[in-house]
Structures are given as structure tokens and as C-alpha cells.
Structure 1
Amino acid sequence: MEKVWEEWKTVVYPALESKVKEFETLGYKNIHIDEIWEMSVSQMKKRKADPALHTIVQTILHMKMHDYMQQKTIESYKKIEQKKNYDEALEEILAQVSGNVAEKVD
């Protein structure tokens, strides 16, 4: 299924470029086509049916800066939570390992 999405990406590339240029005119210079594409695909995958070409283009062109920033904020919170969970798991493993080492020393 991912291959199908990549084929669609080449077809709708002008719409992606247009959206990036729109965001650049609003002052957001570090937005990439791949980010817009991934957000659009994410939105379309939530729907049950495979989207038609006009639906894909509509999803891209109707994306608002608010939607983009909201998605980026959610992603950053998820990364923070994953890091927190990772840090907690690492601390737990280190505690277990150091506890096992202490037991062997005794």
C-alpha cells in the first residue's frame, strides 16, 4: 500500500509545491514537501475508502497552517513521552543490573 501512496505523491507533486510556497509566504521557511505529504497521507488513511485523485489534492490544498502546527506539536509531545518512557525503562534496567551486581559482590 505504501508503494501506491508514493506513486500518488509524484502525481500530486505540484499541489505539494504550491502548499509549501503558500506556507513560505506566511513566513514559515523550514517546511518540506515530505512533511506536507506525510500529514496529508495520515489524514487520508483515517478514511476507510481509498481516496480519488481529487480528494488527495483537496486534502493537500485545504491544509491550514494551524493544522500543520497542531500536528507538529502533537508529534513533539509524543517524542517527549517516548523519551520519558525510554528514560524510565533505562533507569529500571540499570537499577536491576546494578542490583544484580551488588548481589554477586556480597
Structure 2
Amino acid sequence: MLADWESVFRQGLLTFWTFVALSQEGADVGAVKQRIEALTGGTYRPAEQTLYRQLRRHLDVGLVEQTKVPSPMGPPKNVYKLSSRGRRLLRAFARHNIAPFGDPTVQDLLR
């Protein structure tokens, strides 16, 4: 039951973790994946293909920006970063949905 609940929970938070991973600096998909794994203590390991699809959707609506960076070997790398609109959306989401986790009742559950 816990595994099922966590699976649904993770799917719903992929955008949040991706945006947090891009909130400080741009990154290619491999680095975004590594940042998400680090941020979640290794409990969330999104597939790179899933991240590519998600980033394309966010790029299409202006939440993410993409630049091509020359690569010493092979084609240029796509580096993604949050747009100013994406940063505003992340802050609003965090205030509405993450800040309540600081409530004393929730904090008691974590102890």
C-alpha cells in the first residue's frame, strides 16, 4: 500500500522536483536527473526520457528556457533553466503546497 501511494505521490511531484533542480542554475537532462535523486535522498529516480518529455512541455509554455552549449564530443548539449515565469510558478506552488509541511502537526509525524 505504501509503495502504491508513494508512486502516485512521486508522479504528481515530478514538475516540482524538476523545477527545484533547475532553480539555482541550468543543467542538461542528466544533471537534472542527478539533482532530483540528490534532493530526494535517492528515493526518486526519474527516467531521462520522462524528463525530456516534461521539459519539452514546459519549454512550449514558457516555464523553461533552453540553450545549446557546445560539447567537446558530439552534438551540442541542451541546457535547461527556469524562466522567470517558471520561478514565479515554483514559488507560488511551494507557498501553497509545500509550506504547510512546516505545520507542527506534520512535523510531529516526522519525529
**TM-score when normalising by structure 1:** 0.30
| Larger Rg belongs to | 1
**TM-score when normalising by structure 2:** 0.29
Task: Give the structure with the larger helix fraction.
Answer: 1
Task: Give the structure with the larger strand fraction.
Answer: 2
